[in-house]
Amino acid sequence: MKAMKRMCRVLAALLLAVCLVGAEVSPVLAVTQAEIDQLKSEAKELGSQKKELEAKLEELADDKSKALEKKRLLDQQIDNTSAQIKNVEAQIADYAELITQTEAELTDAEEREVAQYELFCQRVRAMEEGGEVSYWSVLFGASSFTDMLTRLNDVNEVMDADQQVIDDLKALQAEITEKKNQLEDSKAEREAAKTELVSKKSELDKQRQRAIALVNEINDNEQENKETLEALDKEEERILAEALRKSRELAAQQAAQGKSPQSNPGGYIWPVDSRYITSTVGGRQSPGGIGSTNHKGTDIGRVGYTSPIYAAKAGTVIVSQYSSSYGNYVVISHGSGNTTLYGHMSSRKVEVGQYVNQGDVIGITGSTGHSTGPHLHFEITENGVRVNPLSHGAEPQKGYLSGYTLSGSA
């Protein structure tokens, strides 16, 4: 019984320490396995969409006349993979939270086990003092606590009160084992999700490269893809005409409703944080060179695939959609015939009809549509005609964008 006594003393000391520190309260469950299961079912759905897209791309194969359709599918594929990445990242975050919760629960259960074991020890001491140690002697030879519990099963004359203490202890031990298993499982799942994330990110890189290669191929073979390039050019003209029509319609509607039509005389702010211009209005688009000497907007580079795009001026969103030329693009009306257009976004953050303040985030940069790499294609129309957004010449033009660097000049 000496060994047992010593064990009880050590555990009593431990329990005292725990009591001094104060028992930790189990946190309210913030993440449940059900939430993770929901994410997994969404991931499954994205997976089947991915397969559909792959099958459609397979069908188009090397059909040159279907190049734009192919680019659209590649853009969708990139979108799909990005959504999968977000999903896996959410799973990893949920697992991290679940692991923290389970660890707290485990600590709590272990503390209760210590207390329960102390109770058990107290009973042993009482038995000893009362001289009723008959069955304890059976357990004396136990090599470990677990071994002792096994031996206890063989002792029939264990008294009811003692049995309750022992049962509670066993239940706690089962709970601890279960929590430990849960913890192991969650950690393994989190590791698997991390591995998946790495592979999804490399998949996304490949898809982006493939999309850029396709557009470069169209641009580099101007003669062969004459029809495609002309179709893109016409589409851009159609988009401009449509945007102007909508802008005037909106202004007329507002006037009819007695609202003063948006007159927005103020200037424009930079639609992205970058000030690096890769192509100017009328200049040659770089690299590639579709439309050759008649680029319709201003290209701002060094934006990557994740930069926020801001409304250059307050106004109402009149277009938010995908087109072969501008990819995901948004047009904002700032008054009759005054619009701004933002092209090649990886995602759009606004809907038609929405009013935006100057500086509001309307999308995220990307390379969708007819684009040879991530950049923002930016256009301004005033009084129904495209104007150069960049302040230029000897006198800085008030209200236009300044402080930029032209590609090649630095």
Contact residues: Zn ion, CB under 5 A: 297, 299, 377
Query: Given the complex with Zn ion, which of 27 and 282 has the nearer CB atom?
Result: 282
Angle at 387 between CA 382 and CA 389, to 5 degrees: 110
Cβ-closest position to Zn ion: 377
Query: Given the complex with Zn ion, which of 91 and 340 has the nearer CB atom?
Result: 340
CB 327 within 8 A of CB 309: no
Query: Given the complex with Zn ion, which of 297 and 301 has the nearer CB atom?
Result: 297
Query: Given the complex with Zn ion, which of 297 and 335 has the nearer CB atom?
Result: 297
In angstroms, give the least distance from the CB of 269 to Zn ion.
19
49 backbone dihedrals φ, ψ, rounded to 5°: -65, -40
In angstroms, give the least distance from the CB of 399 to Zn ion.
22
| Tokens matching residue 393 | 């010449």
CB 344 within 8 A of CB 368: yes
In angstroms, give the least distance from the CB of 206 to Zn ion.
25
Angle at 398 between CA 394 and CA 404, to 5 degrees: 65
In angstroms, give the least distance from the CB of 295 to Zn ion.
6
| Tokens matching residue 401 | 């964008």
C-alpha–C-alpha distance, residues 93 and 99, integer Å: 10
C-alpha–C-alpha distance, residues 391 and 381, integer Å: 15
In angstroms, give the least distance from the CB of 66 to Zn ion.
23
| Tokens matching residue 263 | 């007159």
CB 121 within 8 A of CB 7: yes
In angstroms, give the least distance from the CB of 279 to Zn ion.
6
Q: Any bridge partners for residue 142, and if so which?
A: none
Query: Given the complex with Zn ion, which of 311 and 341 has the nearer CB atom?
Result: 341
Query: Given the complex with Zn ion, which of 285 and 320 has the nearer CB atom?
Result: 285
Q: What is the DSSP letter of 151?
A: H
